Amino acid sequence: MHKLHKTFISAALLTFLSAVYCQAAESGIDRNKDGMPDRWIEARQNGGQIISSDNNYDGKIDYSLEIDEFGNKVHEETDFNLDGSMDDFYFYSNGVLIRQEIDTNYDNKPDVWIYLEKGIYIIKVERDKNFDGIIDYTKQYK
């Protein structure tokens, strides 16, 4: 299947699913039927949406995805260790992953930055090895 065709189908499917969720999510979606919402869809004025969820049903959002009006990912966050604070951050340009930031010691500050080309090729990695807020390791690839 042609790459552009696959991209169009993926974007159309994401847009359709988001629209379905959005219609049902004015006050949130209760996926585990416990009476409490655990997924929320927020329509943005620019036509995009933010989809947030509480995947372990503890009352705290542990995943958030922002999509643009075309269904492309813009920004994504995950609470990897489920402590109530986001730890992994993903940044996209036209739906393609360009950077990932990771808080490896869970102090609410990223200490690893990974820069990508075409969403899959790592071109640079930066680290704050001693967690003082200053990058002290950089590795370039290419």
Q: What is the pLDDT of residues 17-53, one digit of tens each?
A: 444 444 433 358 988 889 889 999 999 998 999 999 9
Predicted pLDDT of residue 27: 52
Residues making up the chain, counted from first to last? 142
pTM of this structure: 0.77
Which is more confidently placed, 7 or 56?
56
* Per-residue tokens: 43: 């329509």
Question: Is residue 54 scored above 90 in pLDDT?
Answer: yes
Q: How far is CA 54 from CA 5, 19, 57, 76, 121, in A?
A: 33, 19, 5, 14, 31
Give residue 83's pLDDT band: very low, low, confident or very high (50, 70, 90): very high
Closest to 77 measured CA to CA, from 93, 88, 68, 85: 88
